[in-house]
Each structure stands twice: as structure tokens, then as C-alpha cells.
Structure 1
Amino acid sequence: MLLVILLFSMAGGDWGSHPGVWGYKQIQDRQEPVVALCPSPCQCEEDGIFMTVDCSEMGLPSVPLNLSPLTTYLDLSMNNISEIQPRAFHRLHLLSELRISGNQLKYISGQALQGLHNLKVLMLQNNQLERLPDDAPWDLPNLLSLRLDANLLSEVPAEAFRGVRSLRHLWLDDNSLTEIPVMALDSLPSLQAMTLALNQITHIPDYAFTNLSALVVLHLHNNHIQSMSSRCFEGLQSLETLDLNYNDLQEFPVAIRTLSKLQELGFHNNNIKAIPERAFVGNPQLQTIHFYENPIQFVGKSAFQFLPKLHTLSLNGATQIQEFPDLKGTTSLEILTLTRAGLSALPPGLCEQLPRLRLLELSNNQIEDLPSFYRCSALQEIGLQHNQIRRIESSTFKQLTSLRALDLSWNMIE
């Protein structure tokens, strides 16, 4: 009985229009019109009483009519759809995934997506969207994933996400945004992952993400970010991954000190010249730091100390670094790359500080003498090519039973 009631509500009164459902034969006998289950030229598959509909790459100019109210998946991607009429999907109360990527849409009104209260995934990437609805935003209370990447959005209205408060994953990359949509993001307390990469953002203001306490992943790479306010990451209590690579940061982003759960940090290919003392004092969970391709001239002695979970540190291209960083208390480090710098020597206690080191890449420096790697028993690869090493002592690589690769080419060994 419950199934019959459910079907009645889904079909808006056209109950019994599906073979096997009570009343189907009576409707046929009366010769009343039957709802088309698979609109031409789409391809459909039945999943029990439900339907998945694939209309992708069909050259369609508009949304097909007569879609079954039992449709749970609809793919309209890679067509020629330039407009979605109001209530185009209003009968598809069971639809959970809608793909409209790769079309010619410039705007989608709130009325166009009316009735999709069960929708969980909405893909709108690779269109020509120039704006999002503000006064009548999309009402999609169960939406979890929204792709708006590769469009032409230059701003996000303050009320744009008011109707998608359950959202967990948001793609806004590859648009024309010039600032963080602070007001719009305030409506997304459940957001877990977001990318704003490949935009034209130049600054991150204080409290830009203050209501995103559940956010775990934030991508901001490939923007034009030059500055960040000291409290810009306030509220990001759950953030584990932060990608600031390929920007134009002039100073070390001290704002990261508020990110107590941060595990992976990338800000390579910026214009940062100094890493201050105790740079990561608020990030005890850090596991990976990618900091290469910055014109580093100064590294504070305590910059990388006491990071007990750090296992990867990359500082390639820091041409002005002449002293090996002090890694006291950073005992879990496994991968250390510091190439194309100005190092002339390695500390004698290197292996005591880094007993788990597996890969040590120090090519293209000015190293002349080597310490004994006797206590680096886990070392598997050592890269020392293009240095100024003149001699190797008998004890230098003694008892490195795990060593698989050792490159000493382009040195001055006699």
C-alpha cells in the first residue's frame, strides 16, 4: 500500500502508468495517454522500478519532454542547451543526480530547478554561466555536490547558496572571480571540500571562511593572491589540506597558524623570500610541506623544528639558503628535497635528527664534505649530483643496507 501511495505522489497523479503497477491495464483499456518512459533519442536503463536516462552528446537544443517521474539519474551533458525553462524538472522528485555540463547555459533561474528536492549531485561545469540567481536562489535542500567550474562567473551573490545549505563539495575553480565570495559561503556550514583555484583572486580578507567549520580541503592555487590578512583562516577548525601553490604571495602566510589540524600545505611557486622563526608553531599535525620555487633568502633556525608528524619537506629552488635547516624534534621526516640551493655542508648529526629518512635529494648545491650516514639505516635514495664533493670516506655510506640508488655524478671526486 505504501508503494502505491509513493508512486501516486511521484507521478503527480499519473499513478499506474508503469507496467506491473496496479491500475496500468485499466488505463490502457481506456486508451488514455501513457507517459513516455524513454524520450528519443536518449538511452535508458531500468533499475527495478526506477530509471537512469543518458541523453549526453545527442545535440539536444533543450531538455527532453516526458521524462519518467521514476528517473533517478539524468545526463544531459555535451549538448546544445542554452536555456532551461521554469519547472523543466518539476515532476522528477526522485532525481538524485543531474548532469548538464558542457552546454551553452548563461543563466539558470531558481524556478528552472524547482521540485528537485531529492537532488544530491548537480554538475554544471563547462558552460557559459555568467551569474547565479540571488533573489530566488536554487531550492535544493539535499544537494551534496555542486560543480560550477569552468564557467564565466565574476561574482557570487550573497544569497546564491541560501537554498543548498546541506552542500558538502563545491567547485568554483576556473572562473573569473576576483575575490572570495565571503557572504555566499556563510550559508554553507556543512561544506567539506571547496576549490576556488584558477580564478583572479588577489587578497584573502579576515574571516573569509568563518562559518566553514567542517571544511577539510581548500584549494586556492593558480590565482593572483598577493596578500592574506592575519585572521583570514579563522573558523576553519577542521581544515587538513590547504593549496596555495602558483600565486604571488610576497610574505610567509602567518595566518596558517590558526589551522591546528592542518596536515598538507602547499605554497610552492610564489614569491616568498623568508620563512620566519617558529613558522609552523600552530600546525603540529603537519605531514607534508611543499615550499619549492620560492626565492628564499632566510630560513629561521626554528622554522621546521618540532613537527613530529612531518614526513615530506620540499624546499627546491631556495637559492639563497646556505645553512641546512635545523630539524630538531621533526623525527618522522622520510622525504627531504633541498635542491638548487646554496648549501655548502651537512650537519654531522643529520641522521640522529632524522632516523626515518628514506629519500634525501640534495642535488645542485655547493656541498664539499659529507658526514657519515651510518645511522640513516632507512635511506633508500640519495641524490648528491652537481655538487663540489671531492672525496668519499670509507665510513660515509657504511651499512646502508636499504640503499637502492646513490647519485654522485658531476662532482669533483678524485
Structure 2
Amino acid sequence: MFLVLRDTNLCLIKVVTSTPVVFVTLVCVGFSSDDVSQKLDLSMNNLTALSSGDFSSLHFLEELRLAGNDLSFIPKGAFMGLYNLKVLMLQNNQLRSVPDEAFSDLHNLQSLRLDANHISSVPASCFSGLRSLRHLWLDDNLLTEVPMAALSELPALQAMTLALNQITTHLNNNRIVSMGTNCFHGLHSLETLDLNYNSLMEFPVAIRSLQHLKELGFHSNNIQSIPEHAFTGNPSLMTIFFYDNPIQSVGRSAFQNLPELRTLSLNGAANLTEFPNLTGTASLESLTITGAKITSLPPSICDQLPNLELLDLSYNQLQTLPLFSGCESIQTLDLHHNEIEELEENTFHGLMSLRSLDLSWNKLSTVKPNCFSALPALTKLDLSSNHIVSLPLSGLHALTHLRLSGNDQLMELIPRETLPRVRVMELPYAFQCCAFVSCEQQAAVSTWRREDADRAESTDTGFLSNQVNHDWESFLIEFDEEPKLQQTVHCNPTPGPFRPCLHLLGSWLIRGGVWLIAAISLVSNCLVVSSIFLSPVSMATPSKVLIGLLGLVNGLLGVWSGWLAAVDAWTYGSFWRYGSAWESSYMCQLSGFLYTFGSQTSIFLLTVAALERCLTVRAAPHKGERQSGQSPSVLSIRLAILLCFLLGLAVTLPPLMAGHSSTSLCLLLPSSASSASVGFSMFLVLLDSLCFLLMILAYTRLYCRTNKSLHLSEEEGALTRHVAWLLFSDCLLFLPVTFLSFSSLLQLRPQVQTPLSRPTAGGAASLVCQSTAVSPLQPTARESSRPW
């Protein structure tokens, strides 16, 4: 029988109006001596007090719930007559002290809940008579010390929680208050001890008297060290939780002789330099030691831990690895963020159950040919951010996840038939994905790549947060291990318009356009440069020098576009075979330097030319007026030219030195992993926009004043108009580039998708260099018939 009287507002049964205390006499409810109720629930009834003998007639009651009331005191005899009571719930009340003599008659009580009260004191004799009590909840109270005397009266206690209290060891007025060495004396049956979320500063050595303790938790405290032989006397321990402690040192013998221990997790022991001695802890299945300074592992690690299934030694300083051949049960081996330089052939030999191996962020440069040949169950391999030059593929036929990103020297191509089951790949270069991702799948894979690019790429931001972010399996869908026909392979970085698989320049229309632009640019710019700098010195006016230098830097862009056309012809139809070597070559870097320096310097020189024309025309006398100003001197123009070249170098060198990502077109693009890189690119676009705005404003007024000049020579007027048309054409070509740049930098992806799609992406190569062909045609077309 289970009688529930919840939310019945029992304060109306018997009310003493002269005082605010409400007394409840349950006999009035109808309980008699013949009642055989086994469970009674009086939770959340606004009870404020109990009287002696209220439950005396309920001899067969086994469970009594009084949680969620306003009880602040329980008198002696309140539970008199409850001879068979086994469960008593008093949580979420207003008790400030454990009732001193209220529980003395509950000899068969097995579970007592006093959590979520305001208990600050536990009288020594309050639990006297509870000889059958097994589980005690005292968490979420105001205790400042472990109630040693009271707990000694509980011989059958198996589990107790003291979490969310204010238990602390501290110095106050030179009086040391600490957890005594005998505070758990007499609790021979205790199996679970919860000391979490306190302020303990020292390891609780008192637990050594708990021989039957199986589960120990003291996480989220301030413990800084674990002493030698810390768990001597606790041979039954199966689980230890002590994370979220500022642990600095751990005794090497702290975890010895724990034959039942299954899980051990030690994070952030910064002063731990040696691997702990785990002799006698042969049942360990999961071992995690991260954030320490361990430099080597004992050769007998697998002999000590034959049942190990998970080993996580990330964020240490391991330099070499022992033979793991004895760890036949191990399934997960996590060794990322160490200093391992070489993998021997027999390092992982015999690990028939190994499924996941993480060796990322090490210093691996050498991987022996048969290193992975004896791993038939391996499905996930992470070797990213190392210095690997060659990857042995023998034995990796079962792989479904492979990460090799960050190995810039690994340029070899991976044949698809060597990895028949692979589903997810991260490779150093997009061209290595061409064998796994067909052209039809690139649109879908591009979406996956954009989602993957949003992940925070943690490096050394803290071993705990990085450990979670580094778990790259969490964002991937788990696939079946059985191979399927025409399965989709997610490969990153994805081949695309700026990293093509077949042709560098795409269609024949774009290819022909780039060839034509390169030819016109080189020929016309050479004509402009030769006509100016090979003419007599007396005829080389500052304006002509500016035009000549402008043709020179535009010629650099012609060299860049011509070099791209040559590479496209050389790698026609199989660019993916040479793409990795091309992007990392010095010729590509030089091409990127020529393009960036040429394009930026040409903008600065064009700005100076526009301002020079503006000042020259303004200084010319108008009809009926005297000369209104002075033309810019030759020295000032030379200084301005020098400044243009210095600014060109200043904005070109940072992208090369800061690690901006490059493309097959050798365009230096901002790296998404660097906010400084993106910010610099934004600054560059704004600077160029400001230059064009300044030129437009100056020439809008200048062009209107040209016809009013009285003594402006025909040559000067023609030169002014030529610069105006040059500015107009460059502005038309600069606007779409500016729009695409801002859209990309601001991550306006819908706007960026269209110009970067396959039919028009190759046009970027022609778009950015059209001005190199258009600019010199304007002066040569008009002035080629007359000497400069």
C-alpha cells in the first residue's frame, strides 16, 4: 500500500493560532493502529513541525517522504513506532542541525536523505542506533568539517556524499583545521565517498582506513598534490574522480597495488615528469594522463597494464615510444601534442584491436614503411601537424578516417585503391583529394568544407578545452565499416576553382583570354617603357616618367599572367599531379610577389600621376588670369615615386612573411585562421578604395578645368586626358574585385558563390590582370606616332 498526501496543505488539520508553528496530528487524517501502509509521501505540504508520536501507529511503514517542507526542527520521538522504516527522506527542508535523538529508534533504517538543508552541525550521538544505515546524503549543506564522531556510529555505512558543502582545510589565527587522519574510523563497510565541490587543499589521507571503498570522488577542490602510497589501504577502489584540481605533483607510487581500479584520469599535473608506477594495478582499462611533462614511457607498460583499452597521454613531452605489442586489448591510443620524432616498424606491432590512433601535433619526420602494417582494426588515424615527408600505406585498408593536414612536405599522391573504405579525409593539399572527390561531388563537399572551416582550430589554448575541440570525430557522421559501392568521400581541402584538378585556367575561353592579355600587356608595356626611357633626357618630363614607371609595374602583372599561362600549358589535363609542388615552389611565391607588388604599386603611382596632373593644370594660367600656382617640382615627384615603391614593398612583404594562404593562381589570400591576416587584407582593400576615391574626386574637378586653360600645351592636355581615361578604366575593373574581396572577408558566402563557381572562376585570373593590358594601350594608341 502506498499512501500519497502531497500538496494537501496539512496545516489545516490542527492549527494552533496563538503561535506561527503549525502542528500536525496524523491520527486526525485517519491512521489507526491497524493501518498497514508501507509507503507514505507527505512531500511539499508546507509542514513546519512534527509532534512526538505522529507516526506511532504506522508499524509496517517502510518508506516515509517528508521532502520539500519547511521543517526546521524534529523533536525526540517524532518517528517512534516506525520499527520497519527503511527509507526516510528529509531533503529540501530548513534543518540547521541533524536531530540529536530523533533517529534513535530507527534500527532498520537503511537510507537517510538530509541533503539540501542548512545543516551546519552534526551532533556526535545523532546517528546512534542506526546500525543498519547504508546510504547517507549530507550534500548541499553548510558543513565545514567531516562529522567524524557521528559517522563512527554507522558500522554498516556503504555510501555517503558530502558534496557542495564548505569543508575546507585552512589556517585561521594559527589554528590548523584539517580533516583528521581518523575521521572515517569505524566505517568499515563504506563503499562510496563523495567529497566533490569542496575546498580541500590537502589530500584526504583519512581514506586509508576505508578498506572496502570502491568509488572515491574528490574532484573540484583545491588539492595540489597526491602523496606517495596515497591509496594504501584501499585495495577495492574501482573508480577515482579527482579532475578539476590544481594538481601539480603526483607521487610515483600513488596508484600502486589497486587491483580493482578500472579508470584513472589525471589532468594537469604540471610537475609530473615520470610515468607513475602502476605495479599491481593490472585491471586498469582506461588511463588518461594529460598536461604533464612525461618524457618517456617504461618498456614494461603493457606488462603492467595488460587489460588497457584506452591510453591518453596527450599534452606531454614524449620523445620516444616503447613497444606496445603486449597491449593486445587497447582500442584507443591518443598521443597528440607531444615531441615524438620517429615511428619504428614494430612500435604498434600486434595491436589487433586498435581502432583509433592519434599522433597529431608531434614532430614526426620519419615513419618506417611497415609501421601500420599489423593494425587490421585501425579505422581512425590522425597524423596532422607533423613533418612527415612520406606516408606508408601498407595495412591501412580498413581506414575510414584519415587526417594528414599540416604536413606541408607531404606532397605524394595517395591512390584511391589503397584506401577502399575511407570516408573522411583531411590532406595537406586539395590536389590530393582529386582521386577521392569527383567533379560531380565537389558542390556537396564544398558545403561540408565550409562547415568544417567554422571549427575553432585549437592549438595550445589549454589542454582540456583543446582536448574537446581536438576530438574531430564529434562533428563527423559515423559510417558503417563495410565498404559500399560509390561511397561518398568527404575530403578537405576540397578541390575547386582556385585549386583545380585538371586545368589551371579552366575553359578554353579563359585560357585564350589570359594568353591574349599576357601578350598585349607585355608588348604594349614594353613599348611604353622603351618610348619613354629611351628618349632624350630633356624630353622625359615628370609626367612621362610616371607613365613609364606605371607601364613597368604593369609589365610585372603581364609576367605573372604569362607565367600562369605557361604552367597551364605544361600541366594541361593533369594539374592535380603537379599542383602541390607548384603551390609550394619558389616560382609560385615569386609570381605572387610580382602580382601583389605590381598591382599595389600601380595604384599608388596612378594616384601620384592624377595628383600631379591636378596640380599642373591648376597652376596653368586661365583666360584673362595670371598663373594661379606653381607646378610640382621634379624633386617632389621623385620623392613621391620613391614613396610609392616603398609602400608597394610594405604591403607586399607582410603577406609573404605572415603565412597568407596561396592558391594555384599564386594569389596571396588571407588565412582564415589568423584574424591579423584578415584584418590586413581588409585594410589593403580600404587603402586601395581610398586611393581610387581620391583620384576620382581630384580628376572630376580637373577634367572640367582642362578646356579653360589658356597656356596648356596640346601634349599636356592630351596627357591629362589619357590619365583620366586610364583612371576610368582601372576603376571599372577595380569595382568587381573590391566587391568580391569585401564579400569574402566579411564571409558573405551567398554573394561569393556565384563568381567562384566553375564556369566563371577562371575569369578571376583574367579580371585581375585586364588593367595590365588596357592601361598601356591608351597612351600607345594615341602617342605611338609621335616621339615622347
Match status 1:254 vs 2:276: yes
Instruction: Report the Cα offset of residue 276 of structure 1.
Output: 3.2
- Structure 1 unaligned runs (5+)? 1-15, 22-35
Per the alignment, do residues 356 and 157 of structure 1 end up closer, same or farther by CA in structure 2, a change over 3 Å counting? same
Match status 1:152 vs 2:135: no
Say if 1:384 and 1:409, in contact at 8 Å, map to a contact too.
Answer: yes
Instruction: Report the Cα offset of residue 233 of structure 1.
Output: 2.8
Match status 1:338 vs 2:352: no
CA distance in 2, matches of 1:161, 1:228: 23
**Aligned counterpart for 1:367 among listed residues 388, 410, 413:** 388
Q: Residues 356-387 of structure 1: CA distance to partner in whole angstroms, max 9, x if unpaired?
A: 112112233333322225x3343222222333
DSSP-derived class of the 1:244 partner: strand
DSSP-derived class of the 2:342 partner: coil
Per the alignment, do residues 381 and 311 of structure 1 end up closer, same or farther by CA in structure 2, a change over 3 Å counting? same
Say if 2:348 and 2:372, in contact at 8 Å, map to a contact too.
Answer: no
Match of 1:321 in 2: 340
Normalising by the residue count of structure 1, what TM-score does the alignment of the two structures yield? Answer: 0.79
**Aligned counterpart for 1:60 among listed residues 55, 71, 95:** 71
Q: Which amino acid aligns with 2:341?
A: Q
Q: Which amino acid aligns with 1:236?
A: L
Match of 2:484 in 1: none
CA distance in 1, matches of 2:399, 2:356: 10
Q: How does 1:90-169 map to 2 (within 5 A)?
A: 90-135=104-149, 137-153=151-167, 154=169, 155-169=178-192
Normalising by the residue count of structure 2, what TM-score does the alignment of the two structures yield? Answer: 0.44
Instruction: Report the Cα offset of residue 274 of structure 1.
Output: 0.8
Per the alignment, do residues 80 and 386 of structure 1 end up closer, same or farther by CA in structure 2, a change over 3 Å counting? farther
Instruction: Report the Cα offset of residue 401 of structure 1.
Output: 4.3
Instruction: Report the Cα offset of residue 172 of structure 1.
Output: 1.5
Say if 1:251 and 1:272, in contact at 8 Å, map to a contact too.
Answer: yes
DSSP-derived class of the 2:100 partner: coil
- Structure 2 unaligned runs (5+)? 1-30, 48-57, 170-177, 433-578, 580-788
Per the alignment, do residues 120 and 151 of structure 1 end up closer, same or farther by CA in structure 2, a change over 3 Å counting? same
Instruction: Report the Cα offset of residue 146 of structure 1.
Output: 0.9
Q: Which amino acid aligns with 1:179?
A: E
Match of 2:402 in 1: 382
Match of 1:13 in 2: none
CA distance in 2, matches of 1:313, 1:355: 15
**Aligned counterpart for 2:331 among listed residues 311, 321, 328:** 311
CA distance in 2, matches of 1:134, 1:48: 32
Match of 1:352 in 2: 373
**Percent of aligned pairs with the same amino acid:** 27
Q: Residues 197-247 of structure 1: CA distance to partner in whole angstroms, max 9, x if unpaired?
A: 222223333332221111111223222333333333344222221121233
**Aligned counterpart for 2:422 among listed residues 384, 395, 403:** 403
Instruction: Report the Cα offset of residue 96 of structure 1.
Output: 2.0
DSSP-derived class of the 2:393 partner: coil
Match status 1:302 vs 2:322: yes
Match of 1:191 in 2: 213
CA distance in 2, matches of 1:333, 1:90: 57
Q: Which amino acid aligns with 1:124?
A: L
Per the alignment, do residues 376 and 164 of structure 1 end up closer, same or farther by CA in structure 2, a change over 3 Å counting? same
Match of 1:79 in 2: 93
Per the alignment, do residues 71 and 194 of structure 1 end up closer, same or farther by CA in structure 2, a change over 3 Å counting? same
Q: Which amino acid aligns with 1:143?
A: L
Q: Which amino acid aligns with 2:367?
A: L
Q: Which amino acid aligns with 1:101?
A: D
Q: Which amino acid aligns with 1:365?
A: N
Instruction: Report the Cα offset of residue 288 of structure 1.
Output: 0.9
Instruction: Report the Cα offset of residue 277 of structure 1.
Output: 4.0
CA distance in 1, matches of 2:63, 2:343: 59
CA distance in 2, matches of 1:287, 1:366: 29
Match of 1:225 in 2: 247
Whose relative contact order is higher, 1 or 2, with alpha carbons under 8 Å and at least 6 apart? 1
Instruction: Report the Cα offset of residue 62 of structure 1.
Output: 3.5
Q: Which amino acid aligns with 2:282?
A: S
Per the alignment, do residues 72 and 365 of structure 1 end up closer, same or farther by CA in structure 2, a change over 3 Å counting? same
CA distance in 2, matches of 1:324, 1:221: 32
Q: Which amino acid aligns with 1:224?
A: P
Per the alignment, do residues 53 and 137 of structure 1 end up closer, same or farther by CA in structure 2, a change over 3 Å counting? closer
Match of 1:12 in 2: none
DSSP-derived class of the 1:376 partner: coil
Instruction: Report the Cα offset of residue 102 of structure 1.
Output: 2.2
Cα RMSD after superposing both structures: 3.1
Per the alignment, do residues 317 and 236 of structure 1 end up closer, same or farther by CA in structure 2, a change over 3 Å counting? same
Per the alignment, do residues 71 and 106 of structure 1 end up closer, same or farther by CA in structure 2, a change over 3 Å counting? same
CA distance in 2, matches of 1:78, 1:343: 57
Q: Which amino acid aligns with 1:19?
A: D
Query: 204-213 vs 301-310, which deviates more?
Result: 301-310
Query: 208-217 vs 126-135, which deviates more?
Result: 126-135
CA distance in 2, matches of 1:232, 1:72: 39
CA distance in 2, matches of 1:344, 1:60: 69
Match status 1:242 vs 2:264: yes
Match of 1:6 in 2: none
DSSP-derived class of the 1:50 partner: coil
DSSP-derived class of the 1:186 partner: helix
Q: Which amino acid aligns with 1:403?
A: V
CA distance in 1, matches of 2:328, 2:123: 51
Query: 200-209 vs 334-343, which deviates more?
Result: 200-209
Q: Residues 42-67 of structure 1: CA distance to partner in whole angstroms, max 9, x if unpaired?
A: 7xxxx994343333333432448734
CA distance in 1, matches of 2:193, 2:67: 23
Say if 2:396 and 2:418, in contact at 8 Å, map to a contact too.
Answer: no
Per the alignment, do residues 408 and 95 of structure 1 end up closer, same or farther by CA in structure 2, a change over 3 Å counting? same
Match of 1:19 in 2: 34
Q: Residues 50-109 of structure 1: CA distance to partner in whole angstroms, max 9, x if unpaired?
A: 343333333432448734724322232233322113123223233222222222222323
Q: Which amino acid aligns with 1:331?
A: M
**Aligned counterpart for 2:204 among listed residues 178, 181, 184:** 181
DSSP-derived class of the 2:63 partner: strand
Say if 2:60 and 2:85, in contact at 8 Å, map to a contact too.
Answer: no
Instruction: Report the Cα offset of residue 265 of structure 1.
Output: 0.8
CA distance in 2, matches of 1:362, 1:59: 60
Match of 2:512 in 1: none
Say if 1:122 and 1:147, in contact at 8 Å, map to a contact too.
Answer: yes
DSSP-derived class of the 1:113 partner: coil
Instruction: Report the Cα offset of residue 411 of structure 1.
Output: 5.9
Q: Which amino acid aligns with 1:406?
A: M
CA distance in 2, matches of 1:410, 1:174: 48
Instruction: Report the Cα offset of residue 297 of structure 1.
Output: 4.8
Per the alignment, do residues 37 and 169 of structure 1 end up closer, same or farther by CA in structure 2, a change over 3 Å counting? closer
CA distance in 2, matches of 1:247, 1:125: 28
DSSP-derived class of the 2:87 partner: strand
Instruction: Report the Cα offset of residue 165 of structure 1.
Output: 1.0
Per the alignment, do residues 77 and 246 of structure 1 end up closer, same or farther by CA in structure 2, a change over 3 Å counting? farther
Q: Residues 161-193 of structure 1: CA distance to partner in whole angstroms, max 9, x if unpaired?
A: 2232111111112222233322x2232111111
Say if 2:238 and 2:263, in contact at 8 Å, map to a contact too.
Answer: yes
Q: Residues 7-55 of structure 1: CA distance to partner in whole angstroms, max 9, x if unpaired?
A: xxxxxxxxx964256xxxxxxxxxxxxxx9958547xxxx994343333
Query: 84-93 vs 130-139, which deviates more?
Result: 130-139
DSSP-derived class of the 2:99 partner: coil
Say if 2:399 and 2:422, in contact at 8 Å, map to a contact too.
Answer: yes
Per the alignment, do residues 297 and 243 of structure 1 end up closer, same or farther by CA in structure 2, a change over 3 Å counting? closer
